[in-house]
Amino acid sequence: MTDTKEILTVQNLDVTFARSAMKAVAGVSLSLGQGKVGIVGESGSGKSTLGRAIMRLLPPSATVTASKLTFDGNPLLSQSEREMRALRGNRMSLIMQDPRYSLNPVLPIGRQVAETAILHKGLSKSAARAVAAEMLDRVRIKDVARVMESYPHQISGGMGQRVMIAAMLLSRPRLVIADEPTSALDVSVRGEVLELLNELVTADGSSLLLISHDIRMVASFCDRIVVMYKGRIVEELSRLSDARHPYTLGLIAAMPDARHPVHRLRVPDRATFDATERSGSPA
Amino acid sequence: MSMIELQDINVRYHSGKSENHVVRGVNLSVARGECVGIVGESGCGKSTLLRSLVGLEGHWTGSISINGEALGPIRTKDQLRCAQMVFQDPFASLHPRHRIRRALSEPARCMGLPVDDARIAAALEEVGLPASFADRFPHQLSGGQRQRVAIARALIVEPPVLLLDEPTSALDVSVQAEILNLLSDRRDERGLTFVLVSHDLSVVAHMCDRIFVMQNGGFVDELSPADIGAGEARDAYARQLLAASFLEELA
């Protein structure tokens, strides 16, 4: 359950790209304690941009402003790049969608996982390898010795994602941002990866921010659901059945449900959301 | 009368020690106007099966017949015309430097069908796009619009059978709803027969009359949409798939 102690506090976060007048993320406020929070929204809703803004990983063309953005007592926006580098991968980690793109294709798996330990724990090469092997075992990789010598193209997608999780969670980060960690995986492997994330995050008492387009998965996995639309948070829920906002209701209605078969699916009407957005927004 | 009849389909790549037996003895019979779904994880052979059916794959053994006509690995124009495919990724399945007009007219021309601007306009309108889109390039369309073009491209040669390989998995849920509605409408109107491959059980349950679960190249279970709704299956692997699909959350 959510702890009272806050790990991440975001207040009024805005992101704009280049000279565009559109805000990719507009006035987002969020606070995370221990536990799992899911961010859902469709493509272009700003959910991934929000995750990257927290990690300060947006390109230089992006302008990020916030009245408050603190992680574990550190004001993130005023940190230097050097200070950020000490935080990233150490106390805050980002797990990305596709292991095929986020692992280095020309380095063996073992070296990539050990790198975290060398960089952030100051371990020697051989000690780091031992830690990496232990971590790979924790993410239930069977033949650890063989996998450590393998290259990313030699392992399956599910295994690759477990390797990523091992590398990202090795330093026991306080905050894990997982951006569509299971979208590239098969349904049967997806459950396994989520369970693993859950286990590690709970064991370390960390905070998990799960970014996904799959509202169903987020609802069954997370303690809180944050729904984003056009860069704004439209609703924060603890259960899907509490949804009131027309956008959330529209998303739910648009999903085919095997329990309640219909001949035609309801297509959400964007004009109505935009109208409620305009009339319903406080400022 | 059945529209599609598959008997003992096997697909093997290579031979000897490195043999890869992708599809193993699949039998399938699909009635006219029916929608049949195939689910399974990557590498189970579901796409290979569709590709053999549509004529993109020549390595199969067994017998395939569509619309009462037995088909071999090499097909005539008319045989190719009777089954058309809609692919997963609308970003990859349209030529980036061809205008939509050309994307739509080429298949018709290849099949020796007359095609003019009025025909293109009608094809676009049928999938809910304005006729002016004929002059656009694929990059000027959104993902959902591109998938509509891909459906128009398949329908322009008027096939009785449409093979759908993950037609909505690259799309947002609201766009997915639009595309699935479009497919149901065209099916009702033209009496089309669908074979739909997807990893999303709720999509398959929504669209299909019967659903086959595929594992290691063979069908291991047959489900009805009601079975999926109730989360019931006979085969252990099918039950595992149902359990992993988070279907229970939207009660």
User: Is residue A17 domain-resident?
Assistant: no
Cβ contact B246–A188 (<8 Å): no
Q: Is B69 on the interface with A (CB under 8 A)?
A: no
Q: Is the pLDDT of residue B32 over 70?
A: yes
Mean pLDDT (whole number) for B122-126: 93
Q: Is A242 on the interface with B (CB under 8 A)?
A: no
Out of A256, A259, A263, name the one closest to residue B203 (CB): A256
ipTM score assigned to the predicted complex: 0.78
Q: What is the pLDDT of residues B43-82, one digit of tens each?
A: 888 889 999 999 998 889 999 999 999 998 889 989 999 9
Residues of A within 8 A of B42 (CB-CB) are: 157, 186
Quote the pLDDT of residue A3. Answer: 45
Question: Cα(B195)–Cα(B182) distance, rounded to whole angstroms?
Answer: 16
Quote the pLDDT of residue A279. Answer: 64
Quote the pLDDT of residue B172. Answer: 87
DSSP assignment of A42-98, as one string? Answer: -TTSSHHHHHHHHHT-S-TTEEEE-SEEEETTEEGGG--HHHHHHHBTTTEEEE-S-
Q: Is A256 on the interface with B (CB under 8 A)?
A: yes
Cβ contact B41–A42 (<8 Å): no
Quote the pLDDT of residue A2. Answer: 43
* Closest of A74, A57, A64, A71 to residue A26, by C-alpha: A64
Quote the pLDDT of residue B36. Answer: 96
| Boundaries of every domain in chain B | 1-74+161-251, 92-158
Cβ contact A258–B228 (<8 Å): yes
Distances (CA, A) of B164 to A5, A58, A211, B46: 50, 37, 29, 11
Domain count, chain A: 1
User: Is residue A115 domain-resident?
Assistant: yes
User: Is residue A118 domain-resident?
Assistant: yes
Tell me which CATH homologous superfamily contains domain B1-74+161-251.
P-loop containing nucleotide triphosphate hydrolases (3.40.50.300)
Residues of A within 8 A of B208 (CB-CB) are: none
How far does the CA of residue A197 sit from the closest CA of chain B (Å)? 16
Question: Cα(A18)–Cα(A203) distance, rounded to whole angstroms?
Answer: 41
Q: How confident is the model at residue B89 (pLDDT cuts 50, 70, 90)?
A: confident
Is residue A238 within 8 Å of residue A222, measured between CB atoms?
Answer: no
| Alpha-helical segments (H) within A75-214 | 81-87, 99-102, 109-121, 125-138, 144-149, 157-169, 187-204
User: Is residue A75 domain-resident?
Assistant: no
Q: What is the pLDDT of residues A130-162, one digit of tens each?
A: 999 999 998 888 889 999 999 999 888 888 888
Question: Cα(A216)–Cα(B176) distance, rounded to whole angstroms?
Answer: 15
Q: Is the pLDDT of residue B246 over 70?
A: no
Select the residue from A188, A214, A247 to test the B interface by mutation, using most B Cβ atoms within 10 A. A188
User: Is residue A162 domain-resident?
Assistant: yes
Query: In the block, which residue shows the tokens 């001949």?
Result: A263
Residue A214: closest C-alpha in chain B: B173
Q: Is B228 on the interface with A (CB under 8 A)?
A: yes
User: Is residue A5 domain-resident?
Assistant: no
User: Is residue A199 domain-resident?
Assistant: no
Out of B174, B229, B241, name the one closest to residue A187 (CB): B241
User: Is residue A116 domain-resident?
Assistant: yes
